[in-house]
Amino acid sequence: MPTITVENLTKKFGEVTALDRVNLRVQKGELFFLLGPSGCGKTTLLRHIAGFYTPEEGRILFDDDDVTSVPPHKRNTGMMFQSYALWPHMTVAKNVAFGLEERRVPRAEIKKRVARALSDVRMEAYADRKIAQLSGGQQQRIALARALVIRPRCLLLDEPLSNLDAKLRLEMRSEIRRICKEFGLTAIYVTHDQKEALSISDRMAILENGRIAQVGTPEQVYRRPRTQVVADFIGESNFLNGKILSTDGAIGTVETPVGIFSGTFGDPDWKPQKDAPAVLCIRPESWALREEAAPRNSIPGEIRDSVYLGEVAQYRFVAAGADLKVFELNPHLAFREPGHKCHAVADPGDVVILQP
């Protein structure tokens, strides 16, 4: 399976720059996610890798092979679409065999590989059924089998689970990861579902306006966003405007209207001066509610609204006029009622300092 390298890729549609000098490297056998808001360029990038678009500038490499001008059918990539794109008049087995028949693979080999592909997605008992007789989740498995049966160099997935209900999405997430890892596939997966990406990706890239804002593991992107756009897109965040009081390497101290906080810089390349504007990012679950003040990163306030969800309580915590989201795991009954006064405390390791 190849390492996929994208170098200075630029694509324009009329006056709109869809991709702006994008550089990316997906390692061999990696399950890599492309995320970002609508119109950020993630699907356009995937379609370049598949060969459906030709860039104005830049190139795409599969290992050391430049495939920028190679047509889709010669790149040997498996593609899964949001719409499944299955043939309704064909049986399950014929749908899976279609790509092999187009490649003129011998009939005996086709039969053997179709049976293996259906077994891999646990659909061997459905070979003779028509597509209309299958549920959405079963159709998704057939689309996956069809992509795998050609033994692709890499697997490309364009929001493949968006048409499934929540329970099936959870099931298929695990199945896709299992199959990719079992076969050692290099896979690139486009989605807008943050939980999907956080739960099964090896690494991910967040795109913004045709550029890559950040690349990293799920933990790196979630816990150390480099920009406010990334922090706002992945998960929920509280943002507090302030100014830099002091810096010490990767650590900084920031004054905000609700108090003074110590935290870590999200972008290690940013070296702000004293009094430079900054934005704090604190995840709702990073707050701890305490009856007494803590020595640092502690602010007094009052719970105004609360939602009890069993394993977690979600609060609207008001401190010095700022509305903050606070999530408490395994919540204590004393904290659930609006009007309760307490302190919200954040560990410095959970406070990220961002450039405005």
350 and 282 in contact (C-beta within 8 Å)?
yes
- Structure token pair of residue 146: 């069809």
Express each pLDDT in 294-330 by its tens digit: 999 999 999 999 888 888 989 999 998 899 999 988 8
pLDDT reported for residue 299 = 95
pLDDT-derived band at 28 (thresholds 50, 70, 90) equals very high
**Of the candidate ranges 4-8, 124-128, 256-260, the one whose mean pLDDT is the lowest:** 124-128
* Rounded CA separation 125/123 (Å): 5
Asked if residue 98 has pLDDT above 90, the reply is no
Q: For 177-183, which contacts have Cβ atoms below 8 Å and span 24 or more sequence positions?
A: 177/31, 179/120, 179/121, 179/144, 179/148, 180/31, 180/155, 181/29, 181/31, 182/120, 183/148
How large is the average pLDDT for residues 134-141? 85
pLDDT reported for residue 209 = 92
Q: Percent of the chain scored above 70 by pLDDT?
A: 99
User: Where are the chain's structural domains?
Assistant: 4-223, 236-354
Architecture of the domain spanning 4-223? 3-Layer(aba) Sandwich (3.40)
Amino acid at 294: A
How large is the average pLDDT for residues 200-210? 95
Q: For 17-20, which contacts have Cβ atoms below 8 Å and span 24 or more sequence positions?
A: 17/210, 18/44, 18/210, 19/44, 19/45, 19/48, 19/55, 19/210, 20/209, 20/210, 20/211
pTM above 0.85, yes or no: yes
> Which runs of E-coded beta strand occur in 132-250?
154-158, 186-190, 203-208, 211-216, 238-248
Please say whether the dihedral angle defined by the alpha carbons of residues 207, 211, 216 and 222, taken in this order, is positive or negative. Answer: negative
246 and 206 in contact (C-beta within 8 Å)?
no
pLDDT reported for residue 350 = 96
How large is the average pLDDT for residues 262-272? 94
Asked if residue 58 has pLDDT above 90, the reply is yes
What are φ and ψ of residue 92, in 5° steps?
-55, -50
pLDDT reported for residue 351 = 97
- Structure token pair of residue 80: 């899964």
How large is the average pLDDT for residues 184-206? 93
Contacts of 263 (CB under 8 A, 6+ apart): 251, 252, 254, 280, 297, 348, 351, 352, 353
pLDDT reported for residue 38 = 85
* Rounded CA separation 208/232 (Å): 12
Q: Considering only CA atoms, which of 50, 69, 47 is closest in space to residue 58?
A: 69
Give the three-class secondary structure for 204: strand
Averaged confidence pLDDT in the chain:
91
How large is the average pLDDT for residues 52-59? 94
Asked if residue 17 has pLDDT above 70, the reply is yes
User: Does domain 236-354 correspond to CATH entry 1.10.3720.10?
Assistant: no
pLDDT reported for residue 333 = 64
How large is the average pLDDT for residues 4-18? 94
pLDDT-derived band at 335 (thresholds 50, 70, 90) equals low
Contacts of 139 (CB under 8 A, 6+ apart): 84, 86, 131
Matching CATH topology for 4-223 and 236-354? no
* Rounded CA separation 274/243 (Å): 8
Helix, strand, coil shares of the chain, percent, nearest 5, are 30, 35, 35
- Structure token pair of residue 46: 């995937």
What are φ and ψ of residue 198, in 5° steps?
-65, -35
Q: How many residues does the chain have?
A: 356
